[in-house]
Structure 1
Amino acid sequence: MFKTIRNFHIFHLKITPKSGFHIGSGDIDISPVATDAQFVRLNTPWGRTVYIPGSSLKGVFRADAEALLKSMEKEACEFTVDTNKDCGGKQEIKNFQKSEEIYPKVCHACKMFGNMKMASVVRFEDFFPFEGDDGDDEKSRKIKEIEEYTFVRNGIKIDRFTGSTVGGALYDFEVLNGGNFYGNVLLKNPEIWQVLMFYKTINNINDGFVKVGGKKSRGLGKLDVEIQSLEIYSTTKNAITFTTFENGRFMNKNVEFNFQNAEKEDDLIGLKIKITNKDEIKSYFDQMLTKLPESW
């Protein structure tokens, strides 16, 4: 599936917390004054910083895609620690080596996000509070600035019978309540429906239907995801070449789109398109919706 380049879709995203936001580090600090659940942090050349792991985002996007697929009566396996319930643990594909053999045997969620037997079409970066082309001083400054948005919230345990607090059950956790995170998500050789599914989850997050991180039932986890720009690389100069799977093999599907406010230039592999206009980005996905195969 990935031996031949057909197209890349690169989403340049900005993520902004719109409520308290928590992704736990999982670390245990023995200090008696340390917060019980600290926000995940990472050492960088510009300082130690809070960040959003790409793995956390991938989990959110996959879970929403699975729910959407099931609502459309498309197959989505139960990707759990019980490998007998997910596609990667299917006995019938364990001896397969070629993607042409594996792809038709797995569910739509695994076709998009991969499993133990095949790579993901969608590749997430870690998201940081600075942009990649920021200078060293700017990155250091933004790391210090985002710490101003961190604070500690307290939690208690309620006795279900008395309705009062349980003694000794006070705990606290670190929350982020602002700032911006930047990063990219790459879709390599996607089918049309996979690009649309990714875009749909972005909209679901922005609409508040999907939250990110921990303690979501307590009001945390609402984010705004802005597509700052979308870069598309295609091997066809007058169309965008998507992947399709027909008759037991991967094939090209060339699809033409009408772009009004996009930058186009010839590229080594074919065509490069960059879209920064928000209306143009929406128009692209509106057009794509009409290009879906009839089976969808």
Structure 2
Amino acid sequence: MHGRLYNELVLEIAISPRTPLIIKSGEKAGIDPARPDMEFVRTTRRNAHGEPEDTLYIPGSSLRGVLRAHAERLLRSLRDDLACQITDQSCIKRKDLKESEISGARAYREACYACRLFGNTAIASRLQIGDLYPHRELEPLTETRYGVAIDRVTGAVAVGPFQMETVTSALFLGRLVLRNFTVGQLGLLGAALLDIADGLVALGHAKSRGLGRVRLNFNWARFRFMQLPPDGNNGIVGIGALASEEIRRRYNLPSPDHHALDGFPQAQHEGLYHTVISREDADIRRWFETLAPLWVEEIEQGGISP
């Protein structure tokens, strides 16, 4: 299925902290007393003058992990088998299937709903998330927070004091790319993104202490579809409505797989694809709110069986 491009969403997001944020680096402070025990993760990039410098960033893998964990939480709220249990075997291994001996179509059919979207060792992910870097004109503000670990038996200090480098003000920009998706899969991704945007799901370390609540804004979105909705209405066209009957049957894709959206712009025909672009956060958010419940409908209508 990944050998063709049926539809695509490219989404640029902006993340800023509501509460102090720390995504820990894997490095240790060592013997340098000027460095905190827990540092925010950094990478080296060239600045506006072309000079290399260290900069804070949010790894795409960190955001992806939070999105998948929350999406799986939503799925299990409906039915346990819709997401692999991390303490058990994967959905493929649990069915005694050898990855090297099954086709891509069967691996997709046998996968749980979470793995169909985020991938596993047998099927590629539909979602790509790049690293998020600070806006070049807004230098991140950091502070050092201090803490101690308390022994719950004695009530005395067990470890500490220790220091954490947290970001209190910043604007991180990055992109998500979703390809060959069903309407339900787009809705599940939207539901997870909206919960992060609303501060219901936190990022990074020390979430139980109130850290990691963020604002998430949608800077722009670009949709591409091979065809327009068959009913002529403007809206999202999933792969189930775009693929051939043979592909739909082999991968057990939903049909019909399209959904009209109020205020969705008229698509522009560009080459092979019909393109829709929006730069309005409020519009993109409203579309995700409309699409968010549709993953439930897709499952209940036979998108995946127990």
TM-score by length of 1: 0.85
Residue identity opposite 1:152 in structure 2: T
1:242 corresponding residue in structure 2: 238
1:176 corresponding residue in structure 2: 167
Residue identity opposite 2:270 in structure 1: D
Q: Separation in 1 of the partners of 2:268 and 2:188? A: 27
- How far did residue 52 of structure 1 move? 0.4
Q: Separation in 2 of the partners of 1:212 and 1:199? A: 17
Q: How high is the sequence identity, in percent, across the aligned residues? A: 26
- How far did residue 55 of structure 1 move? 0.4
RMSD between aligned residues: 2.5
1:135 corresponding residue in structure 2: none
1:77 aligns to 2:84 (yes or no): yes
User: Any stretches of 5+ residues in structure 2 without a counterpart?
Assistant: 48-52, 241-246, 302-306
Residue identity opposite 2:105 in structure 1: E
Q: Separation in 2 of the partners of 1:286 and 1:224? A: 16
2:209 to 210, 218, 232: 218
Residue identity opposite 1:247 in structure 2: R
1:21 aligns to 2:13 (yes or no): no
- How far did residue 209 of structure 1 move? 2.1
2:190 to 167, 191, 199: 199
Distance 1:190 1:39, change over 3 A: same
5 Å-filtered alignment, 1:22-171, equals 22-33=22-33, 34-46=35-47, 47-73=53-79, 75-79=82-86, 85-87=89-91, 89-90=93-94, 91-130=96-135, 139=136, 141-142=137-138, 145-146=139-140, 149-166=141-158, 169-171=160-162
Deviations 1:129-163 (A, max 9, x none): 12xxxxxxxx3x54xx21xx111111112232443
Q: Secondary structure at the match of 2:36?
A: coil
2:267 to 264, 272, 295: 264
- How far did residue 295 of structure 1 move? 1.9
Q: Secondary structure at the match of 1:231?
A: strand
- The answer to whether the 8 A contact 1:42-1:51 is kept is yes
Distance 1:21 1:250, change over 3 A: same
Residue identity opposite 1:70 in structure 2: R
Distance 1:43 1:189, change over 3 A: same
1:9 aligns to 2:14 (yes or no): no
Q: Separation in 2 of the partners of 1:263 and 1:151? A: 47
Q: Secondary structure at the match of 1:44?
A: strand
Q: Separation in 2 of the partners of 1:162 and 1:217? A: 22
Q: Separation in 2 of the partners of 1:294 and 1:67? A: 15
- How far did residue 165 of structure 1 move? 3.0
Residue identity opposite 1:199 in structure 2: G
Deviations 1:181-232 (A, max 9, x none): 0011011111111111111111211233211101111110101111112110
- The answer to whether the 8 A contact 2:109-2:252 is kept is no
- How far did residue 287 of structure 1 move? 4.8
1:136 corresponding residue in structure 2: none
Q: Separation in 2 of the partners of 1:235 and 1:87? A: 31
